[in-house]
């Protein structure tokens, strides 16, 4: 099919919930994507932080194909090796104690919320179910995680929302204490707010927050759906902040492009969700888990160091272009935000870059770059060249 035929069919038959850019993608290699007519795009998006090993990565494709031929699905009523091995690796590499596997980020965060509420219910009974989240956060699109999201624009249309969330300003412990009360069971944060605009939390704030949570027996929940799986230059961002959250959600990059997510829980929380309290039919799917194992094998410590170096290289390259529309860059590893100056809009900039062969994302009022973690210097240079040429 041609790009135009794909667009027409999409408009006719897929629910119109996305504001898409006018590009159809057919295949990819490394950090390069191609439309059906063969036009090349440099990818600084990873399908919104998902394809950490890029496109056409042979070990990943082989593992997926082999597992698909061997066993596609049996449900969690039985045991399977790929999920057990992936859970072991995740626990060993993080210091967490056990894993619950699910399918998407919002669903993983629902797991965090259920875990926190049941932990508190088991220990203190009812009336201690409130979770504090941060302003400018994003936690998902389910009726509950919309309400957990600390942005008013998400609290519309779908009333009634789930109760039990209050919001505090990021990096402000006084504001968090003011929002607290006897009814709180947990605090949920993104260590780098993604959709909100690539806003890293201050390390001092995070340390103090972890201490406060421990004192009050509030669970510290880290939403690492976007920051997890090597994106920030460590396997999980919390490892750079010197904390061990009580529970962590992950999703996007975990299986390199297949739908998988989950919750990592600490020793204190490992028995909170017992048989019958939480489940999902597709969770721990063997094909997704086999893909996840290749991601874990690839993300060695040396590879993660390279993610940090590549992130620094790309940020330096962008700042050196001195573009009239861009201010400072920020972020961690290959999760990069670029300030957009007054008089320019991020959507227009994104459209121009995409038209000219560079795929980018927006977040909050700025730009957001999430290139595949395997991106090469040469591919980054190509992207920078397009940026410089189009936006000068």
* Interface with ligand PLP (CB under 6 A): 104-106, 109, 138-140, 190, 194-195, 223, 225-226, 251
Instruction: State the Cα torsion 354-357-359-363 to the nearest 10°.
Output: -40
d(CA 281, CA 286): 12
Residue nearest to ligand PLP (CB): 105
Nearer to ligand PLP, 261 or 266 (CB): 261
User: Whole-number minimum distance, CB 311 to ligand PLP, in Å?
Assistant: 17
Q: Which is nearest to 224 in space by CA: 250, 247, 201?
A: 250
User: Whole-number minimum distance, CB 45 to ligand PLP, in Å?
Assistant: 13
Nearer to ligand PLP, 48 or 98 (CB): 48
Instruction: State the Cα torsion 224-229-235-241 to the nearest 10°.
Output: -20
Q: Token match 């936690």: residue?
A: 139
- Token duo for residue 58: 């042979």
* CA distances for 112 relative to 117, 163, 329, angstroms: 9, 15, 31
Nearer to ligand PLP, 30 or 371 (CB): 371
Nearer to ligand PLP, 140 or 357 (CB): 140
User: Whole-number minimum distance, CB 259 to ligand PLP, in Å?
Assistant: 8
User: Whole-number minimum distance, CB 166 to ligand PLP, in Å?
Assistant: 18
d(CA 23, CA 35): 7
User: Whole-number minimum distance, CB 357 to ligand PLP, in Å?
Assistant: 25
Nearer to ligand PLP, 28 or 262 (CB): 262
Nearer to ligand PLP, 251 or 264 (CB): 251
Residue 337's DSSP bridge partners are: 330, 368
Q: Which is nearest to 64 in space by CA: 200, 257, 250, 216?
A: 257
| Range 322-325 contact pairs with CB under 8 angstroms and sequence separation of 24 or more | 323/387, 323/388, 323/391, 323/392, 324/391, 324/392, 325/349, 325/391
User: Whole-number minimum distance, CB 261 to ligand PLP, in Å?
Assistant: 6
Nearer to ligand PLP, 222 or 323 (CB): 222
Nearer to ligand PLP, 368 or 382 (CB): 368
User: Whole-number minimum distance, CB 116 to ligand PLP, in Å?
Assistant: 16
Q: Do 14 and 6 meet the contact criterion of CB atoms below 8 Å apart?
A: no
DSSP secondary structure letters along 284-300? T-HHHHHHHHHHHHH--
- Token duo for residue 143: 């009726």
Scanning 183-280, the segments in alpha helix (DSSP H) are: 203-216, 238-241
20 SS3 class: coil
Nearer to ligand PLP, 126 or 281 (CB): 281
Work out the burial of residue 301: count CB atoms within 10 Å of its CB; fewer than 13 is exposed, 13-18 middle, 19 or more buried: exposed
User: Whole-number minimum distance, CB 108 to ligand PLP, in Å?
Assistant: 8
Q: Tell me how crowded residue 143 is: count the other CB atoms within 10 A of its CB.
A: 14
User: Whole-number minimum distance, CB 141 to ligand PLP, in Å?
Assistant: 6
Q: Identify the H or E element spanning 101.
A: strand 98-102
User: Whole-number minimum distance, CB 210 to ligand PLP, in Å?
Assistant: 19
Nearer to ligand PLP, 118 or 252 (CB): 252
Q: Tell me how crowded residue 348 is: count the other CB atoms within 10 A of its CB.
A: 12
């Amino acid at each position: 099919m041609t790009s135009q035929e794909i667009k027409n069919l999409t408009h006719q038959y897929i629910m119109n919930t996305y504001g898409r850019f006018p590009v159809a993608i057919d295949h990819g290699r490394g950090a390069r994507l191609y439309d059906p007519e063969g036009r090349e795009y440099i990818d600084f998006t990873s399908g919104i932080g998902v394809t950490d090993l890029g496109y056409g990565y042979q070990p990943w494709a082989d593992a997926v194909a082999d597992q698909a031929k061997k066993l596609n699905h049996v449900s969690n009523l039985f045991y399977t090796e790929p999920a057990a091995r992936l859970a072991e690796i995740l626990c060993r590499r993080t210091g967490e104690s056990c894993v619950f596997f699910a399918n998407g980020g919002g669903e993983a965060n629902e797991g965090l919320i259920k875990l926190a509420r049941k932990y508190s219910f088991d220990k203190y009974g009812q009336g201690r179910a409130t979770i504090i989240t941060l302003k400018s956060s994003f936690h998902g699109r389910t009726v509950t995680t919309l309400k957990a999201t600390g942005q008013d624009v998400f609290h519309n249309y779908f009333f009634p929302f789930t109760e039990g969330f209050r919001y505090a300003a990021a990096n402000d412990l006084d504001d968090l204490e003011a929002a607290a009360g006897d009814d709180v069971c947990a605090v949920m944060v993104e260590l780098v707010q993604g959709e909100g605009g690539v806003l890293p939390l201050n390390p001092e704030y995070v340390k103090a927050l972890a201490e406060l949570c421990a004192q009050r027996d509030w669970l510290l929940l880290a939403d690492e759906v976007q920051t997890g799986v090597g994106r920030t230059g460590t396997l999980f961002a919390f490892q750079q902040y010197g904390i061990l959250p009580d529970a962590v959600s992950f999703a996007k990059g975990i299986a390199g492009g297949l739908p998988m997510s989950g919750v990592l829980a600490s020793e204190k929380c490992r028995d909170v969700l017992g048989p019958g309290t939480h489940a999902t039919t597709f969770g721990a799917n063997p094909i997704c888990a086999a893909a996840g194992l290749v991601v874990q094998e690839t993300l060695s410590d040396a590879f993660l160091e390279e993610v940090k170096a590549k992130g620094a290289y790309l940020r330096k390259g962008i700042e050196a272009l001195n573009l009239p529309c861009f201010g400072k860059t920020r972020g961690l590893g290959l999760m990069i935000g670029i300030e957009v100056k007054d008089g320019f809009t991020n959507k227009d900039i994104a459209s121009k870059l995409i038209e000219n062969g560079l795929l980018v994302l927006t977040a909050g009022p700025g730009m957001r770059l999430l290139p595949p973690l395997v991106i090469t210097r040469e591919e980054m240079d190509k992207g920078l060249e397009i940026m410089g040429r189009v936006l000068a």
